[in-house]
Structure 1
Amino acid sequence: MTKHELRKKDGIVSPLIEQGQSPYQIITNHPELDMSVRSLYTYLDQGLFTARNIDLKRKPGFKPRKCHKTQITNRTVFEKRLFSDFSELQLSSFVEMDTVHSSRESNKTLLTFFFTKEKLFLAFLLNRCTKGAVRLIFDRLEKRMGTYEFLSVFEYILTDRGSEFGDPVALETGLDEIQRTSIYYCDPMRSGQKGGLEQAHTMLRMVLPKGTSFEFLTQWDVNLIVNHINSTPRESLNGSTPYDAALETLGKETLNAFQLKRIDPDLVNLTPKLIRFNH
């Protein structure tokens, strides 16, 4: 490779690595680089680009987190909603649900969803992490989407045993008393049973590292982060993005109801700068 060719490739690669993009993401979006992911790692190892190995984000390795949430104490909630009951359904596609907490000085929390087929990630800002606040998001989404579309999209939800999910009947019952979803619970201390969402949280934490206060976050900020995550290509989707995968299966109207937008591949930023630049 000539020095001119190397500089040209460096001009594409290094700025994108600075934005938190992975070598896979860069190679997928820039076939004109004409190199494999392995070759890109090799060039970085050899110091041929401005970016260095130390600039690479750690691959979202998944380590199930210890659960420090306030847990559901009413055991009757779990009747016919256990993970064993969920497993018997043998579903190929469902939705995982969880919450992500702010640093201690803020009560604000993110309610998160992950669509296992499309790898689509959603997050909604709660002022407090309560059963009522979670129900409010369900109601708001049902109003935007319509009851039957909500039922189609959120037919089965798997979540953990956090106390904010302790009233499944309220979440399952729609605005017109129609059942809009079915809630199931992971086994105690087994957050890995909804591992897709845990991995999505790893990407979220690239932008909002642990210890970050959510106090000054707005839903607009959260939507922006979600859009950047959903515009990142996945190997599990053969290089497609969750946004484009969901566009095919869920449709444009549903993505609009979720307030999702496609981000230009070269503008995707998975670092804390994404929010700092927009404040």
Structure 2
Amino acid sequence: MIVAADDLLSESRKGVSMQPEELQYLDDLVSPQLLNNQSVHVVFTTSKDKLPCCERTLYNYVDKCLLTARNLDMPRRVRFKARYKHKTRTASDAEFAKDRTYEDFKAYMEKNPDMPVCEMDTVVGRPGGKALLTLIFRSCNLMVAILIERNTQDCVIKALDGLCAAMGTAAFRRLCGVILTDRGSEFRSTYGIEHDANGKLRTQVFYCDPYCSWQKGGVEKNHEFIRQVLPKKTSFDWLTQDAIDLMMSHINSYPRARLNDESPFEVAEFLMGKQLLAKLNLQKIPAKDVILRPTLLKMYRIANLQQEPIHQ
């Protein structure tokens, strides 16, 4: 009798403790957000007052394929790629980074712990085409992306000059007192990065160690969001800065567990103020409306009557 009772108890736990109409309500509420590449955690956090179950149960329902959204629709999946063999670098490769190494960066920050740090990188579309210059402010995890014509030093400096002019040199320095980036050829003009168009010092630049992208892990991790909207091998040539600003508004409105389930936009709004965010052309998107899929910019194209095809 004990065995039979245990079997009965185990069997009862395998079912769904919801009526069909309750499960349909849950599916209607949750699946559209999951299909927009939001995580289960974020969906639960932003809608928990409307959900008839706990976060763990929501995960279980997705695992058991009880909802329209499936695990394959989740932004995190196991991915494998061929191991990359790094080429040998010559000593001259490091000359531009003299006194600007990652060790120099750490020593500088020990002496200036309140100096704001910004991580900088680029995201490339098709080879030789347009690219994105990305900067993330460590203080609030807000990221901006600037469309550049080519992935070159001149284009990077032009983009930084434009951002500095829009924000003002003083505000730029308050957010980017220190810039940490990699040793790509597009970042090797230290004077151009550190000085504005009038020759006024606006920041100090330091370089990560070779093949140590984890040293600027914030901007690297945020590139995952960009790649959800603009997958690799997608051409950026049809894009406009307005389209990029729309994408970054959605990315910056996406809540993060490391920010106590607040979004970078909300944290930045508190630290930087609405006026500066407006200068960056960013707007807050309600969490339930955040889209992190290529459909976001496809809808933008349709809305703006752009008919040319997207090259992939």
Per the normalisation by structure 2, the TM-score is 0.82
Corresponding residue for 2:274? 252
Instruction: Identify the residue that residue 266 of structure 1 maps to in structure 2.
Output: 288
C-alpha contact 1:229 1:270 (8 A) present in aligned 2: yes
**Corresponding residue for residue 10 of structure 1:** 27
Residue matched to 1:26: 43
Query: Structure 2: any 5+ residue segments left out of the alignment?
Result: 1-17, 302-312
| Cα shift at 1:117 | 2.6
In structure 2, the residue corresponding to 1:278 is in which secondary structure? Answer: helix
* Cα distance in 1 between the residues matched to 2:94 and 2:220: 25
The verdict on how the C-alpha distance between 1:59 and 1:203 changes in structure 2, with shifts beyond 3 A counting, is farther
Q: CA 1:175–1:245 in 2, change beyond 3 Å: closer, same or farther? A: same
The number of equivalent residue pairs is 275
Structure 2 partner of 1:51: 69
Task: Note the C-alpha offset of 1:178.
Answer: 2.1
- Structure 1, unmatched stretches of 5+, are none
Distance 1:267 1:54 in 2: 20
Return the letter of the residue paired with 1:45: D
Give the AA of the match of 2:256: R
Shifted more, 173-182 versus 52-61: the winner is: 52-61
After TM superposition, give the deviation of residue 2 of structure 1 in Å: 2.0
Contact 1:172 1:181 in 2 (8 A): yes
Residue 207 of structure 2 corresponds to 185
Partner of 2:38, secondary structure, is coil
Q: 1:200 to 1:60 in 2, by over 3 A?
A: farther
User: C-alpha offsets along residues 21-70 of structure 1, whole Å, 9 cap, x if unaligned?
Assistant: 11111111102215333221101112221222222221699x9x96989x
Distance 1:157 1:34, change over 3 A: farther
- Aligned 8 A contact 1:60 1:203 in 2: no
Between 1-10 and 239-248, the greater mean CA deviation after superposition: 1-10
Post-superposition, which runs of at least 4 consecutive aligned residues in structure 1 deviate over 6 A? Answer: none
Deviations 1:140-196 (A, max 9, x none): 112111111111111011000011111111111123332100100000111111111
Instruction: Work out the CA distance in 1 between the residues paired with 2:190 and 2:71.
Output: 46
Residues 117-156 of structure 1 correspond to what in structure 2 (within 5 A)?
A: 117-156=139-178
SS in 1 for 2:122: strand
Identity %: 39
Task: State the alpha-carbon separation in 2 of the partners of residues 187 and 216 from structure 1.
Answer: 34
TM-score, length basis structure 1: 0.92
Q: Secondary structure at the match of 1:201?
A: helix
Q: In structure 2, what is the equivalent of residue 213 of structure 1?
A: 235
1:111: Cα distance to partner? 0.3
Q: CA RMSD in A?
A: 2.3
